[in-house]
Amino acid sequence: MKTITQILQDAKTIAVVGLSDKPERASNEVAAYLQDAGYRIVPINPGLAGQQVLGETAYASLKEAADALRADGLAIDVVDCFRKSEDIPEIARDAIAVRAGALWMQLGIENQAAADMASAAGLDVVMNHCMKIEHHHLRSALDQA
């Protein structure tokens, strides 16, 4: 199981499930920050499928996104979840199916059954942590080193 630091250092492509096109929403703010930090953001939101969010095409599902990325020789490294805790098991199953590297549940989101399922399938799992905050801590630590 990788640490948060290892996940952030190894990841290149982050699928953001529940990414909003509204700049004032946390999902959009976090995704924009991660994009500025050099990650490839892949919006997952059925209501925005086919539209551009943060300059990237939004997909209705992780499977659609993974198929599109695979055509370019890319894979989903992290599935970042901005959905209610009760929605996470389905997202975990999809993350396993597309062979994502990690399942990340944002601040306030925890689902132990989904975490156990993803972990048993070989995914790294983070619960109740914000990728933006964790990346900022990592960047600050690297700047001071």
Asked which of 116-120, 122-126, 141-145 is least confident by mean pLDDT, the reply is: 141-145
pLDDT for position 125: 98
Render pLDDT for 6-53 as a digit per residue (tens, 0 to 9).
999 999 999 999 999 999 999 999 999 999 999 999 999 999 999 999
Burial of 91 (0-12, 13-18, 19+ CB in 10 A): buried
pTM metric for this prediction:
0.96
Three-state SS at 111:
coil
Residue 140: pLDDT band (50, 70, 90) is confident
Q: Is the dihedral of CA 10, 18, 45, 136 positive or negative?
A: negative
Render pLDDT for 46-99 as a digit per residue (tens, 0 to 9).
999 999 999 999 999 999 999 999 999 999 999 999 999 999 999 999 999 999
How is 99-119 classified by DSSP, letter by letter?
T-SEEEE-TT---HHHHHHHH
Three-state SS at 113:
helix
pLDDT for position 145: 60
- Whether 101 contacts 10, CB under 8 Å: yes
Domains, the chain, with CATH or none = 4-144 (3.40.50.720)
